[in-house]
Amino acid sequence: MNHNKTKAFFEGNEIKAYNIFGAHVKPKSVEFNVYAPNAEGISVIGSFNNWDDKKNVMKKDDQGIWSCTIRNAKEGDTYRYRVIRKGGEVVDKSDPYAFYSELRPQNASIISSLKFDKWEDKEWMEKRNKGFDSPINIYEMHVGSWKKEGEDFVHYNEIQDELIEHCKKHHFTHVEVMPLSEYPFDGSWGYQSTGYFSSTSRYGTNIELMHFVNALHKAGIGIIMDFVPVHFVRDDFALRLFDGTPLYEYPNERDANSQWDTLNFDLWKEEVRSFLMSAANFWLDVYHVDGLRMDAISNAIFWHGNKNNGVNEGACNFMKRMNYLLNKEYDGKIMLIAEDSTDFPNVTKSSLDGGLGFDYKWDLGWMNDTLSYLKKDPIYRQWHHNDVTFSMAYFYSEKFILPLSHDEVVHGKATILQKMYGAYEGKFPQGRAFYLYMMAHPGKKLNFMGNEIGQLREWDEKREQDWCLLDFPIHNAFLRFMREINILYLNTPALYQEDYSPSGFQWLKSDQDGSCCYIFERRCQKQRILFLFQFSDQPYSVSGLSLPGNVRWLEPLINTDWQEYGGQTKKSKAKLCPGKNGFQITLAPFSGQCFKITENES
């Protein structure tokens, strides 16, 4: 193969290696290319040659790239590489760059051209951006269990219209799909991948996935995809010891083996960097995805995710390079999100300024602290107000997203609503107050499917969401509340325009008296919004509340205790005017209120 064509690949700067490797459909043939420098021989076997390894033997060039052109192969045919590994062992391998694959438990690659001429999202693609000063309200979902048809997997086209209707009605700006690259074990949810360029065959063809993305964009909904750049499955048909040597994994066993019984990518190796950067770009380029949420970044920053093991400098350099090149390719219009649980600095700082170059980082500290607070018996919350206030002490160090993801509703952790202290009916007012607090807190928002209906059963990838809960008035009211706070968020510039500026937030009361009452303002240039929360099981009277500026009145926007949401208070839109000693406001137990502040004209 021409050295000029592969130069960037071997330098670790290639983000379109899928145009070089894999199976490429030509007018009268299919061209196969695979990188395996230490293999002793490779043949293409498939449905087009009766799986005979003598018919289509590949030739190796001086770069370690094996090539073969097959005239009678065609789109839709299945194939594998029969590899004679270094040392003589023979093994059949899936194509690392396959564009489509068989449904598990089968694992052959499938020839696919990826031709799609029905994109209608040009205007969307030109206008999209990172959204730093815009509302971003993400609906995270597992495609296979949002809705199900018996034991069969649903296909994209079966849920597409209903999903769009749901997101539009309940005012989510983006859908985040859990990994859609091919994977062998359903229970891994896609986080243990084999086909980094192959959309999973569980939910339809790769062309149907393109239709799905196109439909979301036409409806004004962005799509983010989970991407797993840290580790891959051990299955012998995939990347492990591909040519008889650790081509993709670290050469030493200690670094290669991960905590998930998978293998860690060797992120110091230039060819691996090009492979992963190209895999990331593949979804942005071919499928028009608007952003990537990068999984397990803490395990890339530190060796085995443990700070005591030291910083993995090679992995950090890989992330800087990947984020820089992807931003350059898309003029900074795509979102790159890190799931990182560490305190490693400058994750969302530009790589040009020494940071890792992500746009956003999940605020897992906020999530853990706040949920820990609300799990506690209310009598003890007065001694743990730091769980609520600490997030604002570090918030401006990064650009954060507030995540209530799938990880928080599985493996015995209980669902978000179920985590609230107390019995069934007592969980709902606490849940409403918590979600209003989430919308009020600086940072973009993410909720996993089921959170919006107050699901009480932990997520199970084999079952659809408990939509039947909406037959119960209390859950239906909860969904109505969630919809209305989403509307509030999207329509209130003070809640997003100054997310990452200290001028956009001010504490007025942070429970220093043990009352479990928290009061703060969100601001932007032309708007001030007041929030008050009472996380105790007792009512609380806010007496003599004094607000900065010359305030004329407070206009009620949301009260989590309104009857229409399942609360006890009759809805009122009457404006509150300050008395001689300021504003007097009564907060119901486990409640939150939101007011628009109107100032006197100067």
List pLDDT tens digits, range 202-216: 999 999 999 999 999
Q: What is the pLDDT of residue 148?
A: 85
Name which of 352, 328, 345, 347 is nearest 337 in CA terms. Answer: 347
Distance CA 521, CA 502 (A): 11
Beta pairing partners, 559: 593
Active site positions, annotated = 295, 339
167-181 pLDDT tens trace: 999 999 999 999 999
CA separation for the pair 430, 296 (Å, rounded): 31
| 454-473 burial: b if 16+ Cβ within 10 Å, else e | bbbeebebeebbeeebeeee
Strands (E), 200-255: 222-227, 231-232
User: Can you tell me the mean pLDDT for 272-286?
Assistant: 98
Cα 292 to Cα 55, 288, 405, 434, 450: the distances in Å are 41, 11, 15, 27, 22
Residue 460 pLDDT > 80? yes
Question: What is the residue type of 443?
Answer: G
> Max Cα separation, the chain?
94
Judge whether residue 512 has pLDDT over 80.
Answer: no
- CB atoms under 10 Å from CB of 386, counted, come to 13
Q: What is the pLDDT of residues 241-261, one digit of tens each?
A: 999 999 999 999 999 999 999
Report, as an integer, the average pLDDT of 569-573.
Answer: 92
**Rounded distance, CA 417 to CA 486, Å?**
17
For residues 12-38, give the mean pLDDT: 97
Of the candidates 466, 541, 537, 600, the residue with the CA atom closest to the CA atom of residue 148: 466
Query: What tokens appear for 329 in the block?
Result: 């390719």
pLDDT of residue 511: 76
* Cross-strand partners of 520: 507, 531
Q: What is the DSSP letter of 243?
A: T
For position 177, what pLDDT does the model report? 98
Q: 150 falls in which pLDDT band (50, 70, 90)?
A: confident
Distance CA 248, CA 287 (A): 25
* Dist. CA 446–CA 135, nearest whole Å: 11
Rounded CA separation 149/286 (Å): 29
Whether cis (ω within 30° of 0) applies to the bond prior to 251 is: no
For the record, the structure tokens of 523 come out as 């601001």
DSSP state letters, 503-551: GGEEEEEE-TTSS-EEEEEEEETTEEEEEEEE-SSS-EEEEEE--SS-E
- Report how far residue 69's alpha carbon sits from residue 505's, in angstroms, rounded to the nearest whole number: 62
* pTM score of the predicted model: 0.96
CB 417 within 8 A of CB 431: yes
pLDDT band of 602, cuts 50, 70, 90: low
